[in-house]
């Protein structure tokens, strides 16, 4: 009697060679059928052809060191142009020896954005980060900041008012007294200031030389327009969205009219309006900085779009949340700020980031009213007659910078969508 | 006594400042009052400023002579025409770019979106990178790049690149290609085309009804195309088949004959289409992915071919997801076409901008821009809403 080999000792056969490993992968993903195979071959040929042409142009025959445009001509890409002009492209006409200031301003803003991307910071820390970050950014860019007394009084009034609305029921008597004191000081001070009793006194912080906004240019301008465009448009978009959902007919009508009007016209028409019509709207003699005008136009525009995104979040909340908040006896600000918005905003964070990517790209339109954002300084770098004739290099470089910003933001939005949905995903 | 009050809720005395209705109205009146005050302030300043600068408001300037040249016009225009005509030329140019852009980016975007879902790994990767590359860079940058490439990298007319046996020429003055010589028969061919479209539509209705009652399918796509193309072709043959073409030929420093697509228009259209189709591709992809796998399996189980299941089962359902976001992309194309001003294509904003600079009538001109864009936007969304309602799921 021959001993049968124990079952456990039998070696399983290796899978067929053409179904595993790189070969199997290629067979499955590239050559699964005749049509697929032909597509693959054609595409590989096309990719190789384009890539070899591009590498030849951008790398092998490119000139990285030429001193003038004339030396560059005839070969491949002229990256020497970028080497020559990159400081202008990044910082515009900011005084040359002071370029460290916009550089650090950009770093501050990026740090601000990266820190705000961390979910552990989504509380009071966010306010601190943005307060400190904005102060440092504008101090670096302007060089000098004057904080007028009326602004301080206004902040006291607003802070006290917000505290009273939100924490009137929760706060200890001493805390509540503090809010009353803030409101009182702010209100009385502002009235006295308007009546002219208090002097137009201001705190001056002036460690650096003053640089006016017309000299700003390049990346800091793009970042400021996009970041502060969103930062200011956000609360105002929230108000518009709440107004649109309100059951007070006049408020609702105003908000719907405004949102639809802004969304129906192109940003360019708003920018042109800001540059030619705003001077007409204001009392004669007042001039507003061109940069500020563009910023206001971007904020107005962004607000309408953000309002629609937030409305989506508000609509996604079940009715029970509103009713439960009413049943708890919360007033409208408490209900909105403590119950509704925290839930609604959580839903719309990923689409809000996508909106932000859109604005980051749309800020490039300000070049039409003559502001030197990143795209405009890149454009101006082409004007130099010594370096004329290399538009492809400059635009590809600018496109690359924009791509890095937008692509990383869109990845972050994908990651957040994944993170925030952990609770509801099975 | 008690019985009388049981039916209605007991009247609770509420102080007027705690009554939500009164509060609501007070709040509304305050807000509307503030907005009204702001409006009054701006308007009074404006009137004051206009008087100071001696600008007469009103639309009378529209009848004055414009006096500026427009490079690319669809209708008769000369510097002696009125401002109204110049603005009308701009509106037509905007519409031309918008309509072509919508058509082409829908086609390209659908191809790329379907390509991203292809089982072929290489094809789906290439489509994904196409989408990322175009979505993450401002449209204005693409427009500059294409415009500069056409106007600087393309050769002059004398060294123009000729394609298709010397019939199409690419040069930095635009793309030249041959057109048929004008002939009276063309008008009749247009009529025949319209008749063909109407006929195909009627045929489609009949075929649908027949399939619903008898189950007999009808080859509507091939027959419909046959009618739409065949009728004008028959008219052309009946008219003696005039085949004289106007060919582009190098005369002196530029081409004569044929017709030309200006470089500004080319750059704007190419930029708009490539940029928007990246967004359209994502919409199409998500529309198809939103469908449950059971739908295609059920269609296959019913014995439908791949084409039939796509046309009769999958596409009608995917369209419900696709149409609303697609509407906003169409609106975006129309609004983004205003970037034309940056590369010198004479669209509405560009014409109006010149008019503002020449006449100083900022308010009236801005109103014209807003009215024009709003009416185009509203008509696109009205059409798309109608279409959306038509394809929407009909539940009980």
Q: Using CA coordinates, name the residue in chain B closest to A271.
A: B366
What ranges in A201-277 are assigned the alpha helix state H?
219-245, 249-264, 267-276
Q: Is pLDDT above 60 for A276?
A: yes
Nearest neighbour of B119 by CB, restricted to A32, A249, A361: A32
Q: Is pLDDT above 80 for B240?
A: no
- Per CB-CB distance under 8 Å, the chain A contacts of B126 are 43, 47
Q: Do residues B349 and B338 touch, judged by C-beta distance below 8 A?
A: yes
* Banded model confidence at residue B1, pLDDT cuts 50, 70, 90: very low
Q: Are residues A200 and A311 in the same domain?
A: no
Q: Residue A217's domain is classified under what CATH number?
A: 1.10.3720.10
Structural domain that includes position B186: 182-243
When pLDDT is averaged across residues A38-60 and rounded to a whole number, the result is 88
Report how many Cβ contacts below 8 Å link chain A to chain B: 151
Number of domains chain B is built from? 2
Q: Using CA coordinates, name the residue in chain B closest to A38.
A: B120
Q: Is pLDDT above 90 for B34?
A: yes
Write the DSSP string, A77-136: -BTHHHHHHHHHHHHTTS-GGGTHHHHHHHHHHHHHHHHHHSGGGTTHHHHHHHHHHHHH
Distance from the Cα of B213 to chain A's closest Cα (Å) equals: 38
Q: Residue B338's domain is classified under what CATH number?
A: 1.10.3720.10
* Banded model confidence at residue A45, pLDDT cuts 50, 70, 90: very high
- Per CB-CB distance under 8 Å, the chain A contacts of B23 are none
Q: What ipTM did this prediction achieve? A: 0.85
* Domain closes at, from A185, A205, A225: A205
Pick the range with the lowest mean pLDDT from B52-56, B194-198, B310-314. Answer: B52-56
CA–CA distance, B306 with B296 (Å, rounded to integer) = 9
Q: Are residues A300 and A339 in the same domain?
A: yes
CA–CA distance, A420 with A307 (Å, rounded to integer) = 21
Q: Are residues A173 and A314 in the same domain?
A: no
Structural domain that includes position A194: 148-205
Distance from the Cα of A215 to chain B's closest Cα (Å) equals: 22
Query: Which pLDDT score, from 0 to 100, does residue A108 have?
Result: 92
Q: Is pLDDT above 70 for A426?
A: no
Q: Is pLDDT above 80 for B296?
A: yes
Distance from the Cα of B179 to chain A's closest Cα (Å) equals: 32
Q: Do residues A267 and A365 touch, judged by C-beta distance below 8 A?
A: yes
Q: Using CA coordinates, name the residue in chain B closest to A45.
A: B122
At A90, list the tokens: 């990044």
Cβ distance B133 to A403 less than 8 Å, yes or no, reads: yes
- For residue A281, give Cα distances in angstroms to B41, B172, B175, B365: 8, 43, 45, 15
Cβ distance A269 to B119 less than 8 Å, yes or no, reads: no
Nearest neighbour of A43 by CB, restricted to B52, B122, B145: B122
Query: Which pLDDT score, from 0 to 100, does residue A4 have?
Result: 59
Q: Is residue A426 part of a domain?
A: no
Give the mean pLDDT of chain B: 83
Pick the range with the lowest mean pLDDT from B79-88, B124-133, B181-190, B199-208. Answer: B181-190
**Which percentage of chain A shows pLDDT scores above 90?**
16
Q: Is residue A3 part of a domain?
A: no
Q: Is pLDDT above 70 for A129?
A: yes
Q: Are residues A189 and A219 in the same domain?
A: no
Q: Are residues B322 and B186 in the same domain?
A: no
At A246, list the tokens: 């309100």
Cβ distance B45 to A392 less than 8 Å, yes or no, reads: no
Distance from the Cα of B47 to chain A's closest Cα (Å) equals: 8
Q: Is pLDDT above 90 for A392?
A: no
Q: Kindly state the helix (H) or strand (E) to which residue B205 belongs, with its residue range.
A: helix B185-214
Q: Is residue A306 part of a domain?
A: yes
Query: Which pLDDT score, from 0 to 100, does residue B14 have?
Result: 77
Q: Tell whether the torsion through CA atoms of B133, B136, B137 and B138 is positive or negative.
A: positive
Cβ distance A268 to B339 less than 8 Å, yes or no, reads: yes
When pLDDT is averaged across residues A365-386 and rounded to a whole number, the result is 87
Q: Are residues B272 and B127 in the same domain?
A: yes
Query: Which pLDDT score, from 0 to 100, does residue B252 have?
Result: 66
Q: Are residues A392 and A267 in the same domain?
A: yes
Pick the range with the lowest mean pLDDT from B48-62, B152-166, B276-290. Answer: B152-166
pLDDT: which is higher, B98 or A278: B98
Q: Are residues A294 and A183 in the same domain?
A: no
Distance from the Cα of B143 to chain A's closest Cα (Å) equals: 10
**Angle of helix A124-142 relative to helix A100-117, nearest 10 degrees?**
170
When pLDDT is averaged across residues B264-268 and rounded to a whole number, the result is 89
Q: Is residue B95 part of a domain?
A: yes
Q: Are residues A177 and A297 in the same domain?
A: no
Long-range contacts, A76-80 (Cβ 8 Å, 24+): A77/A390, A77/A392, A77/A393, A78/A387, A78/A390, A78/A393, A79/A393
When pLDDT is averaged across residues B59-68 and rounded to a whole number, the result is 77
Q: Do residues A372 and A219 touch, judged by C-beta distance below 8 A?
A: no
Q: Are residues B166 and B191 in the same domain?
A: no
Query: Which pLDDT score, from 0 to 100, does residue B2 have?
Result: 46
Query: Which pLDDT score, from 0 to 100, does residue B278 have?
Result: 93
Query: Which pLDDT score, from 0 to 100, does residue B98 have?
Result: 92
When pLDDT is averaged across residues B270-280 and rounded to a whole number, the result is 94
Cβ distance B135 to A406 less than 8 Å, yes or no, reads: yes
Cβ distance B339 to A30 less than 8 Å, yes or no, reads: no
At A19, list the tokens: 């179904």
Pick the range with the lowest mean pLDDT from A364-373, B131-140, B251-260, B269-278. Answer: B251-260
Nearest neighbour of A402 by CB, restricted to B136, B342, B366: B136
When pLDDT is averaged across residues B89-103 and rounded to a whole number, the result is 91
Q: Is residue A110 part of a domain?
A: no
Q: Is pLDDT above 70 for A5?
A: no
Q: Are residues B212 and B359 in the same domain?
A: no
User: Which tens digit of pLDDT belongs to each residue from A198-211?
Assistant: 777 778 887 888 88
Give the residue from A78, A242, A265 with the most B CB atoms within 10 Å of its CB, the best one to mutate. A265
Q: Are residues A283 and A312 in the same domain?
A: yes
Q: Are residues B95 and B229 in the same domain?
A: no
Give the residue from B27, B38, B120, B134 with the most A CB atoms within 10 Å of its CB, the best one to mutate. B120
Cβ distance A30 to B120 less than 8 Å, yes or no, reads: yes
Nearest neighbour of A269 by CB, restricted to B137, B336, B370: B370
Write the DSSP string, B159-194: GPEEETTTTEEEETTEEEE-EEPP-THHHHHHHHHH
Q: Are residues B194 and B148 in the same domain?
A: no
* B82 DSSP assignment: B
Q: Are residues A331 and A403 in the same domain?
A: yes
Q: Is pLDDT above 70 for A6?
A: no
Number of domains chain A is built from? 2
**Which percentage of chain A shows pLDDT scores above 70?**
97
Q: Kindly state the helix (H) or strand (E) to which residue A369 belongs, with its residue range.
A: none
Q: Is residue A160 part of a domain?
A: yes
Cβ distance A284 to B49 less than 8 Å, yes or no, reads: yes
Nearest neighbour of B28 by CB, restricted to A32, A248, A284: A248
pLDDT: which is higher, B170 or B252: B170
When pLDDT is averaged across residues A60-76 and rounded to a whole number, the result is 77
Kindly provide the residue ranges of all beta strands, DSSP E only, lying in A103-206, ordered along the sequence.
145-148, 202-205
Q: Are residues B282 and B206 in the same domain?
A: no
Count the Cβ atoms, other than its own, within 10 Å of residue A24: 14
Distance from the Cα of B236 to chain A's closest Cα (Å) equals: 39
Q: Using CA coordinates, name the residue in chain B closest to A378.
A: B141
Query: Taking the C-alpha atoms of B219, B222, B228 and B234 in order, what is their torsion angle to the nearest 10 degrees?
Result: -110
* Domain closes at, from A163, A189, A205: A205
Query: Which pLDDT score, from 0 to 100, does residue B270 have?
Result: 92
Q: Using CA coordinates, name the residue in chain A closest to B334.
A: A266
Q: What is the reported pTM?
A: 0.84
Cβ distance B144 to A379 less than 8 Å, yes or no, reads: yes
Nearest neighbour of B141 by CB, restricted to A261, A272, A375: A375
Cβ distance B374 to A43 less than 8 Å, yes or no, reads: no
**Phi, psi of B110, deg, nearest 5:** -65, -45
Q: Are residues B282 and B347 in the same domain?
A: yes
Nearest neighbour of A265 by CB, restricted to B46, B144, B370: B370
Q: Is residue B161 part of a domain?
A: yes
Q: Is residue B165 part of a domain?
A: yes
Q: Are residues B228 and B128 in the same domain?
A: no
Query: Taking the C-alpha atoms of A264, A266, A267 and A269 in order, what is their torsion angle to the nearest 10 degrees?
Result: -110
Query: Which pLDDT score, from 0 to 100, does residue B109 have?
Result: 93
Q: Are residues B316 and B230 in the same domain?
A: no
Nearest neighbour of A43 by CB, restricted to B123, B140, B356: B123
Q: Do residues B140 and B339 touch, judged by C-beta distance below 8 A?
A: yes
* Banded model confidence at residue B279, pLDDT cuts 50, 70, 90: very high
Distance from the Cα of A107 to chain B's closest Cα (Å) equals: 21
- Per CB-CB distance under 8 Å, the chain A contacts of B366 are 269, 272-273, 276-277
Q: Is residue B348 part of a domain?
A: yes
Q: Are residues A189 and A300 in the same domain?
A: no
Buried b (16+ CB within 10 A) or exposed e, A283-320: eeeeeeebbebbbbbbbbbbbbbbbbbbbebbeeeeee
Q: Are residues B383 and B269 in the same domain?
A: yes
Q: Is residue B191 part of a domain?
A: yes
Q: Is residue B28 part of a domain?
A: no
* Banded model confidence at residue A299, pLDDT cuts 50, 70, 90: very high
Q: Are residues A190 and A225 in the same domain?
A: no
Q: Using CA coordinates, name the residue in chain B closest to A252.
A: B28
User: What is the total residue count of chain B?
Assistant: 396
Q: Is residue B339 part of a domain?
A: yes
Cβ distance B48 to A284 less than 8 Å, yes or no, reads: yes
User: Which tens digit of pLDDT belongs to each residue from B342-368?
Assistant: 888 888 888 888 888 888 778 888 888
Query: Taking the C-alpha atoms of B111, B114, B119 and B122 in order, what is their torsion angle to the nearest 10 degrees?
Result: 50
Write the DSSP string, B340-357: HHHHT---HHHHHHHHHH
Q: Are residues A273 and A404 in the same domain?
A: yes
Distance from the Cα of B367 to chain A's closest Cα (Å) equals: 10
When pLDDT is averaged across residues A397-424 and rounded to a whole number, the result is 87
Q: Is residue A318 part of a domain?
A: yes
Pick the range with the lowest mean pLDDT from A346-350, B36-40, B67-71. Answer: B67-71
Q: Is residue B77 part of a domain?
A: no
CA–CA distance, A308 with A294 (Å, rounded to integer) = 22
**Which percentage of chain B shows pLDDT scores above 90?**
17
- Per CB-CB distance under 8 Å, the chain B contacts of A357 are 136
Q: Is residue A103 part of a domain?
A: no
Q: Kindly state the helix (H) or strand (E) to which residue B155 belongs, with its residue range.
A: none
pLDDT: which is higher, A66 or A128: A128
CA–CA distance, A363 with A267 (Å, rounded to integer) = 9
Query: Which pLDDT score, from 0 to 100, does residue B351 have?
Result: 87
Distance from the Cα of A209 to chain B's closest Cα (Å) equals: 34
Q: Are residues B198 and B137 in the same domain?
A: no
> Pick from A98, A104, A66, A71: which is nearest to A85 by CA?
A66
At B187, list the tokens: 């008008």
Q: Using CA coordinates, name the residue in chain A closest to B353.
A: A272
* Banded model confidence at residue B316, pLDDT cuts 50, 70, 90: confident
* A56 DSSP assignment: I
Q: Is pLDDT above 70 for B395?
A: no
Q: Using CA coordinates, name the residue in chain B closest to A400.
A: B137
* Domain closes at, from B209, B243, B277: B243
Q: Using CA coordinates, name the residue in chain B closest to A402.
A: B137
Cβ distance B140 to A410 less than 8 Å, yes or no, reads: no
- Per CB-CB distance under 8 Å, the chain A contacts of B22 are none
CA–CA distance, A401 with A410 (Å, rounded to integer) = 14
């Amino acid at each position: 009697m021959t001993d049968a080999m124990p079952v456990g000792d039998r070696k399983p056969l290796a899978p067929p060679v053409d179904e595993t490993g790189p070969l199997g992968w290629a067979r499955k993903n590239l050559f699964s059928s005749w049509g697929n195979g032909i597509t693959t071959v054609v595409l590989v040929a096309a990719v190789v052809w384009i890539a070899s042409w591009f590498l030849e142009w951008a790398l092998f025959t490119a000139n990285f060191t030429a001193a003038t445009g004339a030396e560059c001509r005839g070969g491949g890409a002229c990256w020497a142009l970028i080497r020559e002009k990159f400081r202008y492209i990044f910082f515009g006409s900011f005084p040359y020896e002071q370029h460290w200031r916009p550089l650090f301003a950009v770093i501050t803003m990026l740090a601000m954005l990266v820190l705000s991307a961390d979910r552990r910071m989504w509380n009071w820390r966010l306010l601190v980060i943005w307060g400190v970050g904005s102060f440092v950014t504008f101090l670096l860019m302007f060089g000098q900041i004057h904080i007028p007394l009326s602004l301080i009084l206004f902040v006291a009034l607003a802070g006290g008012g917000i505290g009273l609305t939100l924490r009137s029921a929760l706060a200890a008597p001493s805390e509540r007294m503090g809010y009353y004191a803030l409101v009182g000081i702010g209100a009385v001070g502002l009235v006295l200031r308007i009546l002219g009793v208090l002097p137009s006194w201001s705190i001056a912080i002036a460690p650096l030389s003053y640089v006016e906004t017309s000299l700003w240019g390049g990346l800091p301008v793009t970042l400021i327009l996009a970041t502060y465009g969103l930062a200011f448009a956000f609360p105002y978009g929230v108000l518009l969205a709440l107004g649109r959902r309100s059951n007070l007919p006049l408020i609702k009508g105003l908000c719907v009219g405004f949102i639809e009007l802004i969304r129906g016209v192109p940003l360019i028409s708003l920018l042109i309006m800001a540059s030619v019509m705003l001077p007409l709207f204001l009392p004669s003699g007042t001039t507003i900085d061109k940069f500020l005008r563009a910023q206001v136009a971007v904020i107005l525009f962004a607000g309408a779009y953000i309002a629609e995104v937030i409305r989506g979040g508000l609509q996604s909340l079940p009715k029970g949340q509103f009713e439960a908040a009413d049943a708890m006896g919360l007033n409208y600000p408490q209900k909105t700020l403590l119950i509704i918005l925290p839930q609604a905003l959580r839903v719309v964070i990923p689409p809000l980031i996508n909106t932000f990517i859109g604005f980051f790209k749309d800020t490039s339109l300000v070049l039409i009213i003559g502001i030197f954002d990143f795209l405009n300084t890149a454009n101006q770098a082409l004007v130099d007659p010594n370096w004329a004739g290399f538009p492809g290099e400059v635009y590809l470089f600018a496109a690359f910078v924009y791509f890095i910003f937008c692509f990383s933001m869109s990845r972050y939005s994908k990651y957040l969508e994944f993170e925030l949905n952990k609770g509801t995903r099975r | 006594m008690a019985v009388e009050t049981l039916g209605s809720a007991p009247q609770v005395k509420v102080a007027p400042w705690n009554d939500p209705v009164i509060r609501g109205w007070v709040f509304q009146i305050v807000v509307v009052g503030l907005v009204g005050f702001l409006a009054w302030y701006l308007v009074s300043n404006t009137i004051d400023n206009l008087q100071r600068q001696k600008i007469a408001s009103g639309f009378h300037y529209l009848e004055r002579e414009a006096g500026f040249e427009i490079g690319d016009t669809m209708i008769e225009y000369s510097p002696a025409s009125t401002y109204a005509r110049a603005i009308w030329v701009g509106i037509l140019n905007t519409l031309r770019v918008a309509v072509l852009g919508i058509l082409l980016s829908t086609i390209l975007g659908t191809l790329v979106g379907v390509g991203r879902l292809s089982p072929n790994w290489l094809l789906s990767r290439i489509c994904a990178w196409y989408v990322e590359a175009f979505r993450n860079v401002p449209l204005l940058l693409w427009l500059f790049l294409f415009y500069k490439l056409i106007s600087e990298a393309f050769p002059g007319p004398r060294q123009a690149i000729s394609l298709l046996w010397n019939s199409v020429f690419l040069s930095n003055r635009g793309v030249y290609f041959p057109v048929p010589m004008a002939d009276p028969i063309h008008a009749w061919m247009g009529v025949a085309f319209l008749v063909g479209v109407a006929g195909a539509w009627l045929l489609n209705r009949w075929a649908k009804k027949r399939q619903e009652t008898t189950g007999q399918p009808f080859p509507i796509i091939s027959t419909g195309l046959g009618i739409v193309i065949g009728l004008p072709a028959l008219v052309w043959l009946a008219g003696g088949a005039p085949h004289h073409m106007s060919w582009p030929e190098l005369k002196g420093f530029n081409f004569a004959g044929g017709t030309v697509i200006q470089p500004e228009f080319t750059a704007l259209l190419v930029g708009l289409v490539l940029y928007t189709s990246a967004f359209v591709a994502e919409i199409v992809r998500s529309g198809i992915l939103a469908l449950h796998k059971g739908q295609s399996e059920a269609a296959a189980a019913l014995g439908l071919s791949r084409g039939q299941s796509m046309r009769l089962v999958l596409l009608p359902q995917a369209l419900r997801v696709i149409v609303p976001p697609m509407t906003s992309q169409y609106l975006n194309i129309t609004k983004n076409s205003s970037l034309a001003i940056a590369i010198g294509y004479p669209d509405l904003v560009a014409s109006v901008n010149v008019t503002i600079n020449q006449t100083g009538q900022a308010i009236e001109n801005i109103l014209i821009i807003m009215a024009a864009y709003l009416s185009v936007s509203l008509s696109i969304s009205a059409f798309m809403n109608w279409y959306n309602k038509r394809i929407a799921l009909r539940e009980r």
